A and B are shown apart, each in its own frame.
Chain A
């Protein structure tokens, strides 16, 4: 019985200094909180490096919080409402239904050079990408040439898809299929893929992790994904495939919440991401930087530039998203 007292009091002792420290940290006022999806904040994403560089430059501490998916991140922001801890939200994509009035409208320093910038919106584009299936060329098989091919017998358990209800990448793929084949055929495609795919992951990082671990040779990602492996892993085994139906483009935004009490620090952070941070976004988030003046690293020659972009210069209509997702859920469990 004595032992239990000792253990309990040890825990209590352990707790005290750390609690004290965390209280002391809270007192520091030059701090902003940033919400982002987890592939942005994880070890291989650009988040940590960007935050360290920004902290070193400005002395403002950045509290970076990762969410498993962009959709959950946004509903958490909506739930937290006026109590929301975040000053900046990073990673809202144009396919997501988002209440733009939550974000304050402001003008970034480099707005003239920003691809897809809209002066009336508080959502500021920071990068864009084109969805594609990435293929492990070392797998002993012939690469598919179209979305249609993926439903074939030869690709049984070979494809990793992503859930459009939780992930912006999954949602992008749903929009891609609808844009490419029309609603009805797209749902038939998903129904067939539900049988044929290895799994429907809940997030891009989960899906891509499965892929790099070798669980399957095909994964939904971006045309720029091979750049990452060329730069950091020094190999070109993973190639983005050009599909005959054409591809779908997506822009990712960040925004400063209307509720933020530190809008100046938040603007400073966003400006940093849009200028000095852009090359890190290009290499570590492996997307095309929104700032046109960014010099792309050489490895970007490994990025696929598809001939046909289905939604070039068309703003995605997000009003029907709920209906699409409803159709999708019914299709995949049929």
Chain B
């Protein structure tokens, strides 16, 4: 083999692995750094001393903490039932509890408002039956309820998954059946589920701490404002970029501290000894039936009401007026899915090439967008386009969505890649195959299901993305979630529901295909 040929062979891995990480740094790290550097000492000092910003920090923290506790309280019984009981419709219920992972917050808050609002379905029913109305919306309580509504299924899913992984002894299951349920709960179950419950609580806390759409719709006034909403306000309404940047630093620092706590918890939970000895499941008790019914109604009724309210001519008339936004959304979602999948493939390639400490570092670097709030990434793109003097539009939005969903792709693809036996590639190499051939002929076909999942998932994330879009997009350029928000804000609930059902159906169909492909994978 002559040397020239060898060089060409080595060119592919170099280009492909460095290309991804360079692009990733360009579309994620660089804008973020530029933005965080926009702040100045004055703004930073004001952010941590001005009573208004301190109020916002306190509010963000308190509501997130309470929302996490409430989600635990509602979710843990469900998690126990899902792991210790067998019953009909369990599979369907499990799917229902996956919903929050795929539904964008704007749809959740839309369903929440039209169902629990003062003139919503719940109050209409209550009023016709008992002549009373309950006032929930536009208060601290409303924010907590909406967050619980969105997040308790996450607790159910994460905690029950972890119980199932851990396995449980017959003795334990018997105790759950017993009458002194409280005692067995505190002495046996609680210590076992504590680590996973804690890390579910931390995830919920982070979601709520960086909550945006729900706060915009239900709160928004100075008293009910999270850091993310204030960042948006500073950037888009007050045009105070240094302040927006200072608040972004404040938010990021808090998130990082919480994540450090989380990783400490996760390490401890992995040390937990498992004594799997067969899962014993039993039937539902009366109380558990009631719980499941209530919880199912709590989740499904608001979403169903989106569809019900969209059945009107005027709803579709106002939805049709914004057909352009649907085109934008679909286009952005397609481009961002392709960008994020190519990026994820290339980054995973780099990860597969590296080893040891380096591998861990690259992996952490590539999953940073998962812990960066999308509002802050949106702000970064806004700041960059502002300083270059051009208007953000289609491609900037698509790139930002791509950067946001890339880490999910990296996780999906690397998890499959690490299971591909290295001998396959080795034997190909010894028989003289170029690195590019190894990649295209051996790795890529095996990765195909993961790559498709990645495409679907990025597509779905982009379709529902509101936070980065809202801070970035000029008013003349809208997407479906942005239009839904505007309609909700202008009290055009019917139009919002019409668009909402379209978005819901797209998310469902993508998720349906996605989960099917996931099954193919296993």
Which residues of A pack against B, CB within 8 Å?
1, 3-4, 7-8, 11-12, 14-15, 18-19, 22, 33, 35, 38-39, 42-43, 63, 65-69, 71-73, 75-76, 78-83, 85, 157, 163, 165-166, 194, 198-203, 205-206, 209-210, 212-215, 329-330, 332-334
Contacts and interface: CB of A to CB of B under 8 A. Distances in A.
Contacts of B117: 213
Q: How large is the interface on B (under 10, 10 to 19, 20 to 34, 35 or more residues)?
A: 35 or more
B452 interface: yes
Contacts of A38: 486, 489-490
A71 B324 contact: no
A7 B510 contact: yes
Given A1-B452, A14-B330, A166-B237, 15 more contacts: A1-B449, A4-B456, A11-B330, A15-B327, A15-B331, A39-B490, A42-B492, A65-B476, A75-B237, A76-B474, A157-B135, A194-B223, A205-B491, A330-B51, A333-B51
11 contacts: A1-B448, A12-B334, A22-B324, A38-B486, A78-B239, A163-B221, A165-B233, A166-B233, A200-B222, A329-B52, A332-B221
A201 B221 contact: yes
B516 interface: yes
A66 B486 contact: yes
Interface of B: 50-52, 55, 117-119, 135, 137-139, 216, 220-223, 233, 236-239, 318, 323-324, 327, 330-331, 334, 386, 389-391, 448-449, 452, 455-456, 474-476, 486, 489-492, 509-510, 513-514, 516-517, 520
A233 to B, nearest CB: 15
Contacts of B476: 33, 63, 65, 85
Contacts of A157: 135
Contacts of A83: 389-391
A329 to B, nearest CB: 5
- For chain A, what secondary structure do more than half of its interface residues adopt (helix, strand, loop), or is it mixed? helix
B327 A215 contact: no
A93 to B, nearest CB: 15
Given A19-B331, A79-B239, A333 B223 contact: yes
Given A7-B509, A7-B513, A65-B476, A201 B391 contact: no
Given A19-B331, A201-B220, A215-B138, A43 B237 contact: no
Nearest to B495: A43
A333 B222 contact: yes
A97 to B, nearest CB: 11
Contacts of B331: 15, 19
Residue in A82, A199, A205 with the greatest tally of chain B CB atoms within 10 Å = A199
A83 B390 CA distance: 7
Contact of A4 (B221, B222, B513): B513
Nearest to B520: A1
A213 B51 CA distance: 34
Given A1-B520, A72-B237, A75-B237, A65 B475 contact: yes
B81 to A, nearest CB: 33
A206 B491 contact: yes
A168 to B, nearest CB: 12
Nearest to A213: B119
Contacts of B55: 333
Nearest to B218: A199
A119 to B, nearest CB: 30
Contacts of A334: 51
Contacts of B216: 202
Contact of A215 (B118, B455, B490, B516): B118
B475 A165 contact: no
Contacts of B52: 329-330, 333
A22 B327 CA distance: 10
Contacts of A19: 327, 331
B60 to A, nearest CB: 13
A323 to B, nearest CB: 14
A291 to B, nearest CB: 28
Contact of A163 (B222, B323, B391, B514): B222
A202 B236 CA distance: 14
Contact of A200 (B221, B237, B389, B452): B221
A8 B334 CA distance: 8
Contact of A8 (B138, B221, B455): B455
B462 to A, nearest CB: 12
A207 to B, nearest CB: 10
Contact of A214 (B118, B486, B514): B118
B51 A35 contact: no
Nearest to B449: A1
Sort A-B residue pairs by CB-CB distance and give the 10 closest, nearest first: A209-B491, A200-B221, A333-B55, A199-B138, A18-B327, A4-B513, A329-B52, A75-B239, A215-B118, A332-B222
